[in-house]
C-alpha cells in the first residue's frame, strides 16, 4: 500500500456543535472529486490528506470536501441520470469567501464564510458544518435538476429551495450508521423528538443568536425539522418573525414542508417496525424510511409542475409516486393534510416509460405535431418561449411555456415597470404510434399572478432588489442582503432575476 492510499483525514459527520467533547472521526479522504457526476473542487491549495485539527485551514479543506463528497454520492443515487451543474461539470467551493455567519450559492460556486461567535470568542467556519455544506450543495443540485425554479416568482418555490437544502443535510446524515445509532440513542427510538439530525446548523445558529439576538435562531439550532408549524398562505404571513414563529421569509416558511417530510419519515419508520426497542431493527427501519422519503421527494422534485401552491403540488406528486404502495400514499396525504396543506389536483397520470421517443423529442426543436398538441391546450405559443427538459430517468419530457407578468406600481420598488416570468407547465406523453402528445398541463392562472405580485412586493419591502444597471457583483450584493436584481435582457424587457440564494 502506498503512502497516499494509507493517509486518513478526520471529519465531523454531523454539525460541529453536535460534537460536544467528541473528536472528529477518522475517515478516508475523498478522491477524484472533480469527476462527474456532481464533480466539485475546493478552491485554494489542497493540503496533503492527514488528520488535522479542527479550526485550521487544512482541516476545513478536507472537512468540506468530505461533506460535499457524501452529497455527491447521495445525489448520484437520487438523480441517476443527472450530475451536471448549471455552472458546468465541476462546481467550485470557496471555503472562506469572507467574514460572515453564512454561506451562499450563486450559480457559479458555493461560498462559505467564517465569523466570530461573540459569546465564545471563537471562529465559526460555516464550511466546517456538513449541515451547511449539504444545504448549499442542495441548492446547486436543485438548480441543476429544476433550473426553472431559480427565478420562479413564488413564495413556496423559494421556500422549497430551502426545504430541499435542509432535507439534503438530513439525507446525508441518515446514510451514516454511526449517526443513525446516535439519533436512536438520543431519542430512545422516538423519532418525533428533536435530535441531532432534525436540528440543522447548530453551531451557526448559536453564533447567530449570540450576535444578533434570540429571535434569529432556535435555542438549539438554526432550524429544526421536528416542529409543529401549520400551513398558511405565505402571502398572508408577516414578512419576518422570530425563529419560533412562521413568516413568509423562505428560511422560515420552508419549515412547514420540511416538518411534513419528517412526519412522513416517522410514519414510515414505525410502519417498518422501528421504535420497538431493538437497536438493530430500529436502525434498519430508520435507514430504510429515510431513503424511501428521500426518493419520494427527489421524484416529486423532478416532476411537480411549478405553481403558486408549490408545496401542495409537490405533496400530490409524492403521493402519486407512492401510488404502488397504498399505505405510503395514504400516509403522504395524511401528513400533509394534518399540517393544513390544501390538496392540489395534478393534471394527469404519469406517462409510461418511452425512452427512445422521449430522446428523439428532446432535441433542439419540437415536432410540429407536438407543438400543435401543446397549442391545443395552452393556446398559441411562440416556440422560443417553450423550454423542455427530459427527466433524469429519461422517461418523460416536461416543459414550460414562459410568459411575462408586468409589474406596475411604486410598491414594487426597483421592479416597478419590470416583469417576472410565469410558467405554464406541461408534460408530454407517448401515443401508441410513437408520437408524443401534450398530456398534462398546469397553466399559470390568477393565483400565480397574485402570488408573483405579492412575492415581488415582499422582496421590495425587504430591500432585496437591486435596480437596473447596478454594477455590483454577487459578493457585494450578498453583503448588502440584496438577492435579486432588475436586468434588461436581449429582447429589451426588464426582468427580475435572482442573484444568489443563502
Report the interface residues with Zn ion, using CB under 5 A: 162, 165, 502
Query: How far apart are CB 413 and Zn ion at their closest, in Å?
Result: 23
Query: How far apart are CB 164 and Zn ion at their closest, in Å?
Result: 9
Residue 130 or 165: which CB sits closer to Zn ion? 165
Question: What is the grid cell recorded at 110?
Answer: 458555493
Q: Which residues contact 14 (CB under 8 A, 6 or more apart)?
A: 130, 131, 173, 179, 182, 196, 197
Residue 246 or 370: which CB sits closer to Zn ion? 246
Query: How far apart are CB 138 and Zn ion at their closest, in Å?
Result: 8
Query: How far apart are CB 478 and Zn ion at their closest, in Å?
Result: 12
Query: How far apart are CB 502 and Zn ion at their closest, in Å?
Result: 5
Task: Report the largest interatomic distance among the alpha carbons of the chain, rounded to a whole angstrom.
Answer: 70
The torsion defined by the Cα of 158, 162, 168 and 174, in degrees rounded to 10, comes to -140
Query: How far apart are CB 136 and Zn ion at their closest, in Å?
Result: 7
Closest CA to 398 of 406, 389, 410: 389
Query: How far apart are CB 162 and Zn ion at their closest, in Å?
Result: 5
* DSSP run (H or E) holding 377: helix 368-378
Region at 10 (left for phi over 0; alpha for psi -120 to 50; beta for the rest): beta
Residue 79 or 104: which CB sits closer to Zn ion? 104
Residue 102 or 354: which CB sits closer to Zn ion? 102
Residue 222 or 453: which CB sits closer to Zn ion? 222
For residue 37, is the peptide bond before it cis, meaning its omega torsion is within 30 degrees of 0?
yes
Query: How far apart are CB 441 and Zn ion at their closest, in Å?
Result: 31
* DSSP run (H or E) holding 375: helix 368-378
In this structure, are residues 73 and 91 in contact, taking their beta carbons and an 8 Å threshold?
no
In this structure, are residues 264 and 293 in contact, taking their beta carbons and an 8 Å threshold?
yes
* DSSP run (H or E) holding 294: helix 279-303
Residues 469, 473, 476: CA angle, nearest 5 degrees:
110
Residue 158 or 300: which CB sits closer to Zn ion? 158
Query: How far apart are CB 111 and Zn ion at their closest, in Å?
Result: 12
Alpha helices in 427-490 (DSSP H): 446-461, 474-479
Q: Measured in whole angstroms, how far is the alpha carbon of residue 307 from the centre of its chain? A: 16
Query: How far apart are CB 239 and Zn ion at their closest, in Å?
Result: 18
Measured distance CA(251)–CA(192) in Å, rounded: 21
Residue 162 or 224: which CB sits closer to Zn ion? 162
Residue 27 or 252: which CB sits closer to Zn ion? 252
Residue 290 or 501: which CB sits closer to Zn ion? 501
Residue 98 or 347: which CB sits closer to Zn ion? 98
Alpha helices in 84-200 (DSSP H): 130-145, 155-173, 177-187
Q: For 216, which DSSP code?
A: G
- The closest residue (CB) to Zn ion is 165
* DSSP run (H or E) holding 358: helix 355-361
| DSSP-based three-state secondary structure for 478 | helix
Amino acid at each position: 500500500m502506498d503512502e497516499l492510499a494509507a493517509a486518513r483525514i478526520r471529519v465531523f459527520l454531523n454539525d460541529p456543535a453536535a460534537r460536544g467533547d467528541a473528536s472528529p472521526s477518522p475517515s478516508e479522504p475523498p478522491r477524484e472529486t472533480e469527476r462527474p457526476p456532481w464533480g466539485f473542487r475546493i478552491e485554494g491549495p489542497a493540503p496533503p490528506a492527514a488528520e488535522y485539527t479542527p479550526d485550521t485551514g487544512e482541516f476545513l479543506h478536507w472537512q468540506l470536501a468530505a461533506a460535499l463528497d457524501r452529497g455527491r454520492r447521495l445525489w448520484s443515487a437520487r438523480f441517476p441520470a443527472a450530475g451536471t451543474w448549471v455552472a458546468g461539470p465541476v462546481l467550485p467551493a470557496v471555503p472562506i469567501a469572507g467574514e460572515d455567519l453564512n454561506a451562499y450559492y450563486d450559480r457559479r460556486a458555493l461560498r462559505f464564510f467564517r465569523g466570530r461567535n461573540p459569546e465564545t470568542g471563537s471562529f465559526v467556519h460555516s464550511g466546517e458544518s456538513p449541515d451547511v455544506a449539504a444545504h448549499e450543495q442542495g441548492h446547486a443540485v436543485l438548480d441543476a435538476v429544476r433550473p426553472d425554479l431559480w427565478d420562479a416568482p413564488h413564495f413556496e418555490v423559494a421556500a422549497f429551495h430551502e426545504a430541499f437544502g435542509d432535507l439534503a443535510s438530513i439525507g446525508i446524515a441518515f446514510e451514516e450508521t454511526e449517526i443513525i445509532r446516535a439519533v436512536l440513542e438520543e431519542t430512545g427510538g422516538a423519532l418525533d423528538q428533536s435530535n441531532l439530525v432534525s436540528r440543522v446548523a447548530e453551531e451557526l445558529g448559536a453564533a447567530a443568536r449570540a450576535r444578533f439576538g434570540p429571535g434569529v435562531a432556535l435555542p438549539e439550532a438554526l432550524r429544526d425539522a421536528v416542529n409543529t408549524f401549520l400551513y398558511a398562505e405565505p402571502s398572508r404571513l408577516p414578512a419576518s418573525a422570530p425563529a419560533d414563529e412562521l413568516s413568509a421569509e423562505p428560511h422560515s416558511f420552508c419549515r412547514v414542508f420540511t416538518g411534513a417530510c419528517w412526519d412522513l419519515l416517522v410514519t414510515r419508520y414505525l410502519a417498518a417496525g422501528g421504535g420497538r426497542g431493538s437497536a438493530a431493527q430500529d436502525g434498519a427501519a430508520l435507514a430504510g424510511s429515510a431513503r424511501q422519503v428521500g426518493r419520494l421527494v427527489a421524484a416529486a422534485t423532478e416532476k411537480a409542475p411549478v405553481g403558486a401552491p408549490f408545496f401542495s403540488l409537490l405533496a400530490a406528486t409524492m403521493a402519486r409516486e407512492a401510488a404502488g404502495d397504498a399505505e405510503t400514499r395514504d400516509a403522504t396525504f395524511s401528513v400533509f393534510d394534518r399540517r393544513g396543506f390544501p390538496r392540489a389536483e395534478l393534471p394527469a397520470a404519469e406517462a409510461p416509460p418511452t425512452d427512445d421517443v422521449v430522446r428523439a423529442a428532446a432535441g433542439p426543436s419540437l415536432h410540429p405535431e407536438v407543438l400543435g398538441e401543446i397549442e391545443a391546450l395552452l393556446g398559441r405559443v411562440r416556440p422560443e418561449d417553450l423550454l423542455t427538459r427530459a427527466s433524469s430517468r429519461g422517461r418523460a419530457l416536461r416543459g414550460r411555456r414562459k410568459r411575462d407578468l408586468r409589474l406596475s406600481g411604486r410598491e414594487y420598488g426597483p421592479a416597478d415597470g419590470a416583469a417576472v416570468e410565469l410558467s405554464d407547465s406541461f408534460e408530454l406523453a407517448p401515443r401508441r404510434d410513437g408520437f408524443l402528445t401534450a398530456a398534462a398541463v398546469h397553466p399559470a392562472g390568477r393565483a400565480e399572478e397574485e402570488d408573483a405580485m405579492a412575492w415581488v412586493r415582499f422582496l421590495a419591502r425587504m430591500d432585496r432588489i437591486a435596480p437596473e444597471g447596478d454594477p455590483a457583483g454577487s459578493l457585494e450584493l450578498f453583503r448588502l442582503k440584496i438577492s435579486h436584481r432588475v436586468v434588461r435582457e436581449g429582447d429589451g424587457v426588464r426582468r427580475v432575476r435572482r442573484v444568489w440564494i443563502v
